[in-house]
Amino acid sequence: VEHDAVAIAERAIGVKAAGRPRSRLGWTSPSELAEYAFCPEAHYLRHEKGIDVDTAERRIGTQKHASWAAGMGASWAVRRFFIRLMWIFFIVGAAILGLTMLGGNL
């Protein structure tokens, strides 16, 4: 059976969102995008608050997408900030180590 993707999607999507959703859609996967498109609130509860859909209970660190940051209720902006901070530490650390080794040889 052949179906037209745009026709199905347009039939389902129709009503404008009442307000700005609480969670922001940053870098995402197709499945997360589909979930967000259908209910940003469910996406917020699952991904930002770490609440499991099956039990509607808060579970930290056991979910597929839940990380320590999600467990803390951190937003993507906070997560991105920490990831960048980690990279900066790594690069600066490597540079210091490199310079120290170079200095020792000179």
Residues at the site binding another protein, with contacts judged by CB under 8 A:
1-6, 8-18, 20-21, 24-31, 33-42, 45-46, 51, 53-56
Which is closer to another protein, CB of 25 or CB of 74? 25
| Smallest gap from residue 68 Cβ to another protein (A) | 21
DSSP 58: B
Which is closer to another protein, CB of 4 or CB of 104? 4
Residue 37 CA to residue 41 CA, distance in Å, equals 10
| Smallest gap from residue 87 Cβ to another protein (A) | 17
Among all chains, which residue has been given the structure tokens 């209720």?
Answer: 73
58 burial (CB, 10 Å; 0-12 / 13-18 / 19+) is middle
| Smallest gap from residue 86 Cβ to another protein (A) | 19
| Smallest gap from residue 97 Cβ to another protein (A) | 30
Which is closer to another protein, CB of 35 or CB of 60? 35
70 burial (CB, 10 Å; 0-12 / 13-18 / 19+) is buried
